[in-house]
Amino acid sequence: MNHIQGALRRTVTALVRAAALLAAGGACAGELAVGTEINAANWEQMKTQTFEGKTIESMVPDKILLAVREHGLKIWLRQSEPMTYASHIMEATAKYAPDVRYDPATRRVENYVAGIPFPDAAAIQAAPPEQAGDMIMYNVFYAGVANGDYSNCYGDVAMAVIDSKRGIQRMQGGYAIVYRTKGRTTGGPTQVGDDPNLRKIQIISFHTPYDIAGIGVYRKVYDDGRLDDIYAYVKSVRRVRRLSGGTWMDTLSTSDILNDDTYAFEAHPTWYPRITLKEKRWVLWPVHSPPVEKHDLADVLNYKDPPHWTFINKWWEPREVYVVEITTPKGHPYGKKISYVDTQLPAVFWTEAYTPGDEFWRIIYATLAPAPPGPQDGGAPPMYQLYNFGAWDFRTQHGNYMDCGRYDWNLPVKFEDMSTRLLVEASEGKRQGQHTEFGKGP
């Protein structure tokens, strides 16, 4: 009798599960439904299920799985759709990419004007892995999705400093502007400024709290391998001061990331001795989050529960990525970095950093949200906003969350407006940005 009862119970249980799966996942058994939540508690049940025909466990690399299982990271499924770029970027790509040449001897790029330099996935796939790695990261370097011709991410929690046991320790309000000087596609010449190798101007400045208000960095970034020209404003003496260009592999002040970790990858490819394409694979990652509007920090970061650094995003979808191994030069704190870069558009989703002893150290991640297209964009995003951006240091159990409280992009800002004067204005409490309404902090 007991056998019969046990078998009956197992059968009923299996039927209930199957019914639940059918209800959740539609007609195909094992196929998860849009909106399904995957978390530490249900991982074992979910991992063998599929979404859009691929098993969940095949799309969650082990370091992201670590965050799911141990840090409360939750994955909510969304149906995938292609990543696209505004028509002016794709037209520039079609027009100029055929002339772009990668020289394997110098590892440099010639004839770049605008658009994505190496849009042909087949050519990347066909190249030797070390050349393919360079080409992928040159795409990020010149045409990374996180910046338009002008982008400004700003807010009251520009950086939260987080201890995984104690919570948020400090918050700094500020802004990060990137102004593209080479490869412009939103109107006017493709290049502005005197220096033909000036690629962009980047300004990161804080306006709160009082003692760091105005402390910021003004950076001229070049595409010929030259180190950046960097200036900082020292508020307490009210002077702009020249800094070393050799800081690209140093820690970004007060944070858990290095300067070359900004936007998950921020350096000239030739500064690394070798960049190798290791494989192509599928991952789940949010790239179609909703546009960044006024939001409370609690909407995007679970700072209340340990480890206080887990981001919240409900729009994960299958993406095919290149897995790129970046070999660091002598003196670099990391032994190597592994970056996950989308195969459709040059977007670095996350970078894993390893110690020189090959021990896993940090993750620097950036989830994406398409910027709403303007009239000239042909219905496609001119850039992708950072919906969640942060770093987890697994060795020190310390991390950061950089919140773009609001976003401006592709404003008609002139090159000459991008001067160190902006740093001075920040010291007086002026935040760059069109929006004045923000959500609540902690």
Partner 1 sequence: MKKEIWAAGLGVALCAPAGSAIAEYRYTAAGGQTLTLSGYVREHLSMNLDSHPERKANGDRLDGQWELSMARTSALIQAYSNLGWGKATVIWRGVREYKTGYLDDLDDQPGQVGDLMDKYNDSEFREWYLDVTTGRVDWRLGRQQVVWGETDLFQALDLVHGYDFTWRSLIEPENEELRKPLIMLNATVRIPELGGDLQLLFRPGWDDDEDIGNTVDLFGGRWAAQPNKGVNILALAPLNLDHHSGDKDDPSYGFRWRSEIGPVSYTLNYLHTLNDNPVINSALAPYGGQAPAGLAELIYPEIDVMGASANVYSTPLDLVFRLEAAFTPNKPYNVGYVGSPMFNAFGGFVPAGFFGVKEKDTAKLMFGIDKPNLQTQRLLRTFQPSFLTFQLFDSWITNFDDDDQLVDVTSKLHEHSVVMSLGLNLNYRYDTVQPTLLFAWDATNGGGAFLPSVNFIYGNHWRLRVGASIFVTDTGQQNCSTEPVTAKGAECTHLFGTFANNDQLDVRLTYQF
Measure the CA–CA gap between 366 and 388, rounded to whole angstroms.
Answer: 6
User: Could you tell me the smallest distance in angstroms from the CB atom of residue 74 to partner 1?
Assistant: 25
User: Could you tell me the smallest distance in angstroms from the CB atom of residue 433 to partner 1?
Assistant: 11
State the alpha helices, DSSP H only, in 26-108: 43-46, 62-71, 87-96
User: Could you tell me the smallest distance in angstroms from the CB atom of residue 29 to partner 1?
Assistant: 48
User: Could you tell me the smallest distance in angstroms from the CB atom of residue 375 to partner 1?
Assistant: 23
Longest dimension (CA), the chain: 89
Distance of CA 175 to the CA centre of its chain: 16
Q: Which is nearer to partner 1, 86 or 160 (CB)?
A: 160
Q: Which is nearer to partner 1, 22 or 243 (CB)?
A: 243
Measure the CA–CA gap between 252 and 269, rounded to whole angstroms.
Answer: 19
Q: Which is nearer to partner 1, 79 or 236 (CB)?
A: 236
Q: Which is nearer to partner 1, 259 or 343 (CB)?
A: 259
Question: Within 13 Å, how many C-alpha atoms sit on residue 75's CB side?
Answer: 32
In 61-188, DSSP assigns E strands to 75-76, 101-103, 108-110, 150-163, 167-180
Q: Which is nearer to partner 1, 101 or 170 (CB)?
A: 170
Q: Which is nearer to partner 1, 44 or 194 (CB)?
A: 194
User: Which residue has tokens 């670099």?
Assistant: 332
**Beta-carbon neighbour count of residue 358 at 10 Å?**
9
**Beta-carbon neighbour count of residue 440 at 10 Å?**
12
User: Could you tell me the smallest distance in angstroms from the CB atom of residue 379 to partner 1?
Assistant: 30
User: Could you tell me the smallest distance in angstroms from the CB atom of residue 332 to partner 1?
Assistant: 11
Q: Which is nearer to partner 1, 80 or 208 (CB)?
A: 208
What residue type is 200 in one-letter code?
K
User: Could you tell me the smallest distance in angstroms from the CB atom of residue 88 to partner 1?
Assistant: 25
Torsion over CA of 264, 269, 274 and 280, rounded to 10 degrees? 50
DSSP 137-148: HHHHHHH-TT--
Measure the CA–CA gap between 57 and 59, rounded to whole angstroms.
Answer: 5
DSSP 332-392: -S-SEEEEEEESSS--EEEEEEE-TT--EEEEEEEEEEEPPP-GGGTTS-SSEEEEEEEEE
Measure the CA–CA gap between 199 and 415, rounded to whole angstroms.
Answer: 12
User: Could you tell me the smallest distance in angstroms from the CB atom of residue 99 to partner 1?
Assistant: 28
User: Could you tell me the smallest distance in angstroms from the CB atom of residue 416 to partner 1?
Assistant: 4
Tokens of residue 197, six digits: 């190798």
**What are the CA-CA distances from residue 22 to residues 40, 93, 101, 288, 414 (Å)?**
22, 44, 51, 26, 56
Q: Which is nearer to partner 1, 10 or 239 (CB)?
A: 239
Q: Can you give the binding site for partner 1, defined by CB under 8 A? A: 156-157, 161, 168-171, 173, 194, 207-211, 213, 226-227, 229-231, 235-239, 241-247, 250-251, 253-254, 256, 331, 333, 398, 415-416, 419, 421, 428-430, 436-437, 441-442
Q: Which is nearer to partner 1, 78 or 219 (CB)?
A: 219
User: Could you tell me the smallest distance in angstroms from the CB atom of residue 402 to partner 1?
Assistant: 15
Q: Which is nearer to partner 1, 4 or 237 (CB)?
A: 237
Backbone angles phi, psi at 204, to 5 degrees: -120, 120
